[in-house]
């Protein structure tokens, strides 16, 4: 993990003596802890990890997580109680005057704990450097995401085989989640979205008891984790008969996605990718009906830093992993979204999610 620690330090705008990443009780855990350590198992509640400028990584761990910690390349220093943990923190950071912390990932409780262990230390928020380092994936990260995309894609292709008229949204969502874990995923990336009819016009819809019936759009947005890394895919189907308005919506969204993917390559601004999709949709009868960003970073979190949006300054780099997910939404009627995950390559991008994208009928 030395290379990841060094990458974070290389992104700093001002120097610090060390960087501290720490987890509070689940779910208040910082995915950057797992990025820096490479830990696949364990929760590491109340366990600090210290990154040093020479790339050394030291986990101060409870006995509960010691076995998991020792599966990583990091130096492992176990503690028996909170007093011992504080003394180890103090001795590990002796002489440090400026300590980097990941602001979005650390709790107020832990800021006070650090200040008690190291009186007078200056806490410096290095969140931008941590986020910038995490946006560009290494080969191990890409391989985990690739495996997660394979599982989600296979499930997406099978949806017409196990979703049918009369099924509730909640049932369909549960079946998708089950099939991903049965295929080898450790968990879902987020709560599976299964949205029928008018629910498909709500981008962050939660499955309810609505049953699928003829003529309804059926939108499924889901993903899974493999070795802690996420996939995120959306496919939209139609139940039974296809009306011309829905067919047209689907064609417009599919073309918008094709245009966005076509411009992705290193050095391009994310605003250009967003504009490729958004300007096309706005040139059709669905102007103004694309109501979110065209995509987001993907990794240890399903939203892993960076977006394809009109107001986000992101320059694409090789080995970034992003989603591409334009959509059209008609409130009270229904919506269409098509989402894939891509890794940026030297000359363009590779689409990691391989599920079919032709209009399919359930």
Burial 62-82 (b: 16+ CB within 10 A, else e): beebbebbeebebebbbbeee
Q: For domain 2-134, which CATH number applies: 3.40.50.300, 3.30.930.10, 1.10.3720.10, 3.40.350.10? A: 3.40.350.10
**Which residues lie across from 320 on neighbouring strands?**
136
Cα(196)–Cα(190) distance, rounded to whole angstroms? 19
Other beta carbons within 10 Å of 358? 6
Q: Which CATH architecture does the domain made up of 139-351 adopt?
A: Alpha-Beta Complex (3.90)
pLDDT value of residue 245: 94
Q: Is residue 30 within 8 Å of residue 102, measured between CB atoms?
A: yes
Domain ranges across the chain:
2-134, 139-351
Counting every residue, how long is the chain? 362
Q: What is the DSSP letter of 199?
A: G
Cα(202)–Cα(286) distance, rounded to whole angstroms? 16
Tens-of-pLDDT digits for all 362 residues of the chain?
A: 799 999 999 999 999 999 999 999 888 899 999 999 999 999 999 999 999 999 999 999 999 999 999 999 999 999 999 999 999 999 999 999 999 999 999 999 999 999 999 999 999 999 999 999 999 999 999 999 999 999 999 999 999 999 999 999 999 999 999 999 999 999 999 999 999 999 999 999 999 999 999 999 999 999 999 999 999 999 999 999 899 999 999 999 999 999 999 999 999 999 999 999 999 999 999 999 999 999 999 999 999 989 999 999 999 999 999 999 999 999 999 999 999 999 999 999 999 999 999 999 99
pLDDT value of residue 28: 85
Phi, psi of 323 (to 5 degrees): -95, 155
For residue 325, what are the contacts with CB-CB under 8 A and spacing of at least 6? 234, 257, 294, 295, 337, 338, 339, 340
**Which residues lie across from 233 on neighbouring strands?**
222
pLDDT value of residue 145: 98
For residue 100, what are the contacts with CB-CB under 8 A and spacing of at least 6? 12, 16, 18, 19, 20, 51, 124, 125, 126, 129
């Amino acid at each position: 993990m030395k290379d990841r620690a060094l990458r974070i330090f290389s992104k700093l705008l001002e120097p610090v003596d060390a960087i501290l990443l720490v987890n509070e009780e689940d779910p208040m855990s910082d995915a950057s802890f797992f990025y820096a350590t490479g830990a696949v198992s364990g929760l590491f509640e109340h366990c600090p990890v210290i990154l040093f400028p020479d790339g050394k990584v030291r986990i101060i761990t409870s006995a509960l997580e010691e076995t998991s910690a020792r599966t990583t390349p990091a130096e492992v220093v176990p503690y028996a109680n909170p007093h011992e943990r504080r003394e180890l923190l103090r001795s590990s950071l002796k002489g440090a005057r400026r300590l980097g912390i990941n602001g979005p990932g650390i709790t107020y409780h832990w800021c006070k704990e650090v200040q008690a262990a190291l009186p007078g230390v200056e806490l410096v928020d290095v969140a931008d450097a941590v986020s910038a380092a995490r946006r560009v994936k290494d080969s191990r990260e890409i391989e985990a995401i690739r495996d997660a995309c394979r599982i989600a894609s296979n499930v997406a292709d099978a949806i017409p085989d196990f979703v049918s008229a009369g099924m509730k949204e909640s049932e369909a969502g549960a079946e998708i989640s089950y099939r991903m874990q049965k295929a080898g995923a450790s968990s879902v990336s987020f709560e599976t979205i299964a949205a029928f009819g008018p629910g498909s016009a709500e981008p962050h819809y939660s499955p309810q008891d609505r049953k699928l019936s003829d003529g309804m759009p059926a939108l499924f947005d889901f993903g899974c984790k493999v070795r802690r890394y996420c996939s995120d895919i959306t496919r939209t189907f139609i139940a039974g008969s296809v009306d011309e308005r829905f067919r047209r919506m689907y064609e417009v969204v599919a073309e918008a996605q094709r245009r966005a993917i076509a411009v992705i390559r290193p050095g391009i601004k994310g605003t250009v990718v967003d504009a490729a999709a958004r300007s096309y949709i706005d040139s059709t009868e669905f102007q103004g009906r694309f109501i979110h960003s065209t995509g987001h970073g993907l990794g240890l979190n399903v939203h892993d830093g960076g977006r394809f949006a009109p107001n986000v300054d992101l320059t694409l780099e090789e080995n970034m992993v992003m989603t591409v997910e334009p959509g059209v939404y008609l409130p009270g009627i229904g919506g269409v979204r098509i989402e894939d995950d891509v890794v940026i390559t030297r000359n363009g991008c590779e689409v990691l999610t391989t599920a079919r994208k032709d209009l399919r009928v359930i």
